[in-house]
Each structure stands twice: as structure tokens, then as C-alpha cells.
Amino acid sequence: MAQNDEPKGSNQKLEDLDAFKENGTNEFLTTNQGLKVNDNQNSLKAGERGATLLEDFILREKITHFDHERIPERIVHARGTGAHGYFQVYESLSKYTKAKFLNDPSIKTPVFVRFSTVAGSRGSSDLARDVRGFSVKFYTQEGNYDLVGNNMPVFFIQDAIKFPDLIHAVKPEPHNEIPQAASAHDTFWDFISLMPESTHMIMWAMSDRALPRSLRMMEGFGVHTFRLINESGEAVFVKFHWKPILGVHSVAWDEATKISGKDPDFHRRDLWEAIESGAYPEWELGIQVVEEKDEHNFPFDLLDPTKIIPEELVPVQRVGKLTLHQNPANFFAETEQVAFHPGHLVPGIDFTNDPLLQGRLFSYTDTQLSRLGSPNFHEIPINRSIPTVHNNQRDGHMRQLINTNQTSYEPNSIGGNFPKQATVAEGGFSTYAERIDARKVRARSKSFTDHFSQATLFFNSQSEAEKNHIVDALSFELGKVDREEIRVRMVGILTQVDSTLAAKVADNLGIEVPAEPEKPMNHSVPADANPEDYQPTKVDQKLEKSTALSMANTVKNTIKSRQIAILAADGVEEAALNEMTKALLAEGAVAKIISPKLGYIKGTKGAKIKVDMAFLTATSVVFDAVYVPSGPESAKALINEPDAIHFINEAYRHCKAIGAEGEGIDVLKASYLGKDFAVTPLEMDQQTAEGIILIFRDGEGGNKEKEFINAVAQHRFWERELKSKVPA
Ligand code: HDD
């Protein structure tokens, strides 16, 4: 986590945006024509009680603008949130690329990043089980470069022509617009069960990766294989990764559904608050580089977006850092109007022939035309590049630029043939001269037909708890599917990933595992083709497991920006409370005191302690851990407060770190923990229960605050789920 060494708003793009900012403080209210308004309370009428007059231009202007202030939401990724920041490379990557922003460690390139869910509408919950978008716009000195990725490294489909089908299947069903922001319905699983190429992505989408604890705690991936090209014109293949400094962490599904009701803006709020408090989110940029000569040396095709390159085969080199240090000033102007496009390139970076990427290159500009309404969307402040734009494109709706030259064509002699083309040496973009010698065909490469091996690799690489979560997720999602034939077909696909997985899901669904999956498995076959040619094949991936695929192996040594709930009431021992709070704050965590009522509570020594939240508005699911300090009266009040007991039960169910001191332990005992640790009073050896930290001040020494902090840093004790089923 960055220390707050950057003054807010200190980058070239943010300075550029300043020119467009308006703030009415100390100003008169005006119309859009700059006319001062004298009465903003009453429309113009024929008499006090009379009809309103059409001539009331002030009323008309205000209502008209209001009537038109919505724009279409994004066709996908409608729900999102964004922030400004900067990117800096650690060392020059000139060996691989001539992109200037990747060549000079002293350059801080301004960025705007937007995170999103895919399926839901603009107002849907942040905690939908879904893929997260991770889009980065780099405002480089050579123009805008956009890396428009996701928090999962593969995709559902291999060819962009299937994208509208995929999205129609996952979006709310067309006849009744149900369900919102959820893939748990018939049309999605109908499509998926007929499209085995989606199986690898389904493993990711049904894993905890689809339920991030925070947007700051998820990875990002460029997904496709791209190219880097150096000054000598030599190219390598590259996969882009974003590795979060705080590690990759998730919430439990039960928790996600509750957060969706208690705080549907949970991720948006978390990002906003972290940046406001100076806990700047950070990711390292990682690259996997493959030389051209090695293109065909993998058991999968580098152009197939349903495949990863396992880190065991090609390690991820960490080459730079992304830091988000400024919230937007206006959501609509920045986060909503920002327009990303994988085709926004700078010299030194280029595409490959990945057929999913190729189709994306059309879609993104096209969609902005209907969403933002004009081919001049690049002139919207957030979308403007740092280099000024000079070309012969003219006019169109809402044109801002006043082109003053007489000529708007090229070549011309009247204007000295300006603006002129740039040579490659002058920074002109030149497409990588890839050799292509082929027939024009509508086809899928045979090298794309292994749909299951990497799905199995992913599943095998998960911890036991992660595997259970995948079983639960699939059981939930397919449990919401009405048609049994879809469930059976889907379980048939799962048999190709892992037989235990298929058996467990089938058991939960109350169906038999089909002896043979339905044949043909792939129904995405051209009309005149032989379906046999399109059926999945298996290729030995020569790798049993990949450690990078399991979140269990992530960063677990920090509690920076984690939210800790301290449950207390009148009669709390202020020393206990203060010591723990001090220790937590020193580690960069956020501690909030939660009490039966808002206002202040009294400590045993008479201290007046400010309450942050009452149980009425607080909920365990937005916290990472719970601590109950000592104090007989405080403990008694909490034991008599059902919301306090429920708070602990839920935190226990969601496998969080729970700490208590002195009489605070009695409060834990009054909760479901008391059932699991049925000893009176809880004794020292019960502390072995992972993630439950009990502090007996008069007991043996040791630094219990530190122990609690270490437990919080583990994020979750998922093994607890195997031992205890908490009815909370
Ligand atoms: Fe896409 C938005 C990521 C495949 C068509 N996409 C969009 C956004 C992200 C992605 C993060 C949100 C951008 C923002 O924040 O404004 N999309 C991906 C990834 C894909 C992918 C990682 C596969 C690897 N997308 C994809 C395909 C197509 C599209 C195959 C169409 C053929 N995507 C769009 C779009 C969107 C979009 C319709 C909607 C809003 C927008 O572009 O600006 O054009």
C-alpha cells in the first residue's frame, strides 16, 4: 500500500481535466445561457393559481435538460466504478517494446481505471457472482493505450461472433426481465451446457474469484495474447497480468448475498474510502513473454482465449506498478463517460489473431456511438489523449474542437500538406508485419478443441475449501435452473473436468451422474459441418497443478485497510479497547466501534468513547474481523443484544478472525461459538481453534494483539466450514 507521498490530483491528465471543472460556490444560479435566475421556486403562470405559460423558458430549459440527462448504460459492464492514478515501470522494457511509457522508469503515466461487473444493470449489486472488468486507460505521451481486461484470465467463448449469444443468455431473460445480475437461470446454463469451450471459464466464474472481497484485492488479466515490438521491429508474444499488492481475497457466497442487501455499493464504497484515506490501491504489472519461435511449443494455442499460459511454464515477470490515488470528481463525467477500447494502441504494442480479440476491435467504438451518441466521444474530457489531436475528421454531433485550417483533406497544397504523417522514427504507428498465407474461411482451428484439460488443471489446483465452494456454486446455480435436462447436460460436462466434482453437484441436485455425457457435446457447429469435427478433444497439459491458480497461496501478511468491528457497550474497559485499537491502527487497519446505540459509551474508568455505528446500521458482512474487549457491564449488555450475538455468529460462519478479551469471551460463549467450544469458561486449549483469539490478561504473557492481527491477515479460516455449520 502506498504511503501518501503523492499530492492528490498530481498528474498531467488530472490537470487537463481541471480546465473543464465547474463549481458553483459563491456564484449566482444561471440558465444555460448564463442569465442570472431570480426565482427557481415558481414557474411562470397566468395568475397565482393559473395555468403555466409556455413562454417560461427557464422552466422549459430546466425540465428539458432533466428529461434527457440519462444515456444508455453499457450493453455489458454497466455497473462500474473508477479512479485515477498512475503507472510506472520498474526498469526499461526496451528489450521487448518500444512503447515509451514502458521504456523509462522515471515516467509516471496517468491512468484512469474502471472496474465493473458484467451482467447486471447500472444499479445492480456489486456482489453479484460475476466476472469483474478491469479496464486501464494509460494517457501516454504517444496517445491513449487501453488494456481492457477482466479479473479472470480466460473467457467463455473463442470467437467474437458468439459474444451476443453469450450475453443474451446471461442477461435477464427477455420475456420477464428476470433475474437481475445473476447467471443462475435457465438461459445461461442452457447455452453453457451446449458450449463446452466455456468449461474452463465456468470453473473460474464458479470459484471465489467471482466474489472479490474488494476490487483492490483481485487480479487483472489482459486475457488475450498480445504482441510487444521493440525498436528493431522484433516481436514477442505477451500476456498481461495485474497482481494486487494486498493479495487476492474473496467473501463467502452467503456473505455476498447479504452484502447485496445491506450495502449493494460495497465495492464502490471500499475503493472510494481506501483512496480518500490515502490507502492507495496498488497492483504490479506482470508480463509473460513468449518468443515467436516458441509459438507452437505449448499443449494449447496461444491464440485461444480459453487458455492460460501456466506460470510454471512461463513465469510472470513483475515489471511495474499501478497506483490509484484520486477519486473522480464527478461520476458521470469520468466513470460513466470513459470509453475503453482494446484497439487503442501505442507503438510497441500490437494484437494477435485471437478471434475473440479481433471481434472486440470492432465492437468497442461501435458501442460508444450509441452509448455516448457521437463519433466525437474522444473529445469528452476523460477520453481526451494528452497529445493534441490533429486530423481531417470533421464535424458531427457535439463537436468541441474548432479546426481553423482551410483544408480538411490530405494530400493538400493549400495547407502545406498538414497535418502530416509521421515516420516510424517520428513515432508513427506501424502495424506489425505478420506474415499471413491462408485461405479465407469461416472455421475454428483444430488447435482450439481441447476444452477440458485446463478446466481440470484449475480444479486440481484449488484448495479443499475452494473446491467445495465451486461445488456449492454450481449446485446453487444449477439448482436455480428449472429444466432438468439442462442440469443433467451440465453435470455431463462436469464429468469431463473431475468425476468427484460431477458426483457432488449431481448429488446436491438429486440427479444421477450420466453414464456418458450427451453426444455431441458441442452444439456450436456450422450447418454444413460434420459435428464430429467440432467435438472436444483432450491434450495432455503435462502439469498436475499450478500454485498461482489457488487463492490459498496469496499474500497473507498484511491487514492494511481491513475493517475490524469492535463490539462494545457502556462499561467497556477502555485500556483493553485502546490497546487493541492502537495495535490495529498501527498496522493500517480501520477499527469501528459498534454499540447498541449511536452516540457515546462510558468506559469503566469514566472515558467517553465515540460510537461509530449502532447494530441497527452495522452488519458483520462488511467487516473482516470482530473483537470484543473486556468489561463486565459491556459484556452483559452485548449478551442481551440479539444483534450483537447474531453479528458474532455470522462472522464465525463466514470464517473470520474473532478476538475477545476477559469478559468479552463470555459474549463469544453466548454466541454459536459457545456451542462449538462447550466448556465453561472457555479454556486456554480451546484457543487452538484457528482464527479465534482469546486474551486472558492475567494469563501467560505473549503479544495477543499481534496474534489477532496475524489471524486477520489470514483473511479467512475456510476450514472452519468443514467443522461447523453455523445457522446464521
Ligand atoms: Fe468486452 C465492455 C472486457 C470480450 C464487447 N469489455 C467491456 C468492459 C470490459 C470488457 C472490462 C468494460 C469497459 C468499461 O469499463 O467501460 N470484453 C472484456 C474482456 C473480453 C471481452 C476481457 C474477452 C477477453 N467484449 C468482448 C467481446 C465483445 C465485447 C468478444 C464483442 C464482440 N465489451 C464489449 C462492448 C463493451 C464492452 C459491447 C460494452 C461497453 C463498452 O464496450 O464500452 O463493446
pLDDT at 465 over 80: yes
- Domain end position, chosen among 337, 353, 383: 383
What digits encode the pLDDT tens for the residues 56-106?
999 999 999 999 999 999 999 999 999 999 999 999 999 999 999 999 999
Cβ–ligand 1 distance for 114 under 6 Å, the answer: yes
* 364 among annotated binding-site residues: yes
What digits encode the pLDDT tens for the residues 385-430?
999 999 999 999 999 999 999 999 999 999 999 999 999 999 999 9
- Tell me if 26 is assigned to some domain: no
Q: How many Cβ atoms sit within 10 Å of the Cβ of residue 541?
A: 18
Which CATH number do you get for residue 655?
3.40.50.880
Question: Could you tell me what percentage of the chain is helix, strand and coil, using 3-state DSSP and rounding each to the nearest 5?
Answer: 35, 15, 50
- Tell me if 664 is assigned to some domain: yes
- Domain end position, chosen among 351, 368, 383: 383
Q: 596: which residues sit within 8 A by CB, 6+ positions away?
A: 569, 614, 615, 637, 638, 641, 643, 644
Within 13 Å, how many C-alpha atoms sit on residue 374's CB side? 14
Cβ–ligand 1 distance for 187 under 6 Å, the answer: no
Quote the domain boundaries for residue 294.
80-184+213-383
- Tell me if 198 is assigned to some domain: no
Q: How far is the CA of 359 from the centre of ligand 1 (A)?
A: 10
Q: How confident is the model at residue 1 (pLDDT cuts 50, 70, 90)?
A: very low
Rounded mean pLDDT of 515-544? 92
- Tell me if 612 is assigned to some domain: yes
Q: How far is the CA of 562 from the centre of ligand 1 (A)?
A: 31
What does the pLDDT read at residue 113? 99
Cβ–ligand 1 distance for 74 under 6 Å, the answer: yes
How many residues are recorded in the chain? 728
What does the pLDDT read at residue 10? 77
Rounded mean pLDDT of 666-675? 92
What digits encode the pLDDT tens for the residues 237-273?
999 999 999 999 999 999 999 999 999 999 999 999 9
What does the pLDDT read at residue 723? 83
- Tell me if 72 is assigned to some domain: no
Q: How far is the CA of 339 from the centre of ligand 1 (A)?
A: 10
What does the pLDDT read at residue 696? 74
- Domain end position, chosen among 340, 362, 383: 383
Rounded mean pLDDT of 23-30? 96
What does the pLDDT read at residue 9? 53
Cα separation, 254 vs 272, whole angstroms: 24
Mutate to test the pocket of ligand 1, among 77, 271, 303, 306 (most ligand atoms within 8 A of CB): 77
Domain count, the chain: 2
Cα separation, 197 vs 214, whole angstroms: 29
What digits encode the pLDDT tens for the residues 374-388?
999 999 999 999 999
Closest residue by Cα to residue 547 from 214, 304, 311, 299: 311
pLDDT at 683 over 60: no
Q: How confident is the model at residue 684 (pLDDT cuts 50, 70, 90)?
A: very low
Cβ–ligand 1 distance for 383 under 6 Å, the answer: no
What digits encode the pLDDT tens for the residues 162-208?
999 999 999 999 999 999 999 999 999 999 999 999 999 999 999 99
Q: How confident is the model at residue 681 (pLDDT cuts 50, 70, 90)?
A: very low
What does the pLDDT read at residue 680? 46
- Tell me if 288 is assigned to some domain: yes
What integer best gives the mean pLDDT of the chain? 95
Which letter, b or e, does each residue of 284-305 get, where b requires 16 or more Cβ atoms within 10 Å of its Cβ?
bbbbbbbeeeeeeebbbbbbbb
- Closest residue by CA, ligand 1 atom 42: 364
What digits encode the pLDDT tens for the residues 615-644?
999 999 999 999 999 999 999 999 999 999
Rounded mean pLDDT of 562-580? 96
Residues annotated catalytic, as ranges: 77, 150
- Tell me if 713 is assigned to some domain: yes
Q: How confident is the model at residue 344 (pLDDT cuts 50, 70, 90)?
A: very high
Q: Are 445 and 158 in contact (CB under 8 A)?
A: no
| pTM of the complete model | 0.96
Q: How confident is the model at residue 3 (pLDDT cuts 50, 70, 90)?
A: very low
pLDDT at 524 over 90: yes
- Tell me if 133 is assigned to some domain: yes
Rounded mean pLDDT of 138-159? 98
Cα separation, 386 vs 13, whole angstroms: 7
Closest residue by Cα to residue 588 from 246, 171, 182, 178: 246
Which CATH number do you get for residue 218?
2.40.180.10
SS3 351: coil
Identify each DSSP E strand in 189-347 by its residue range: 220-221, 226-229, 235-244, 282-291, 317-326
Regarding an ipTM greater than 0.95, the answer is yes
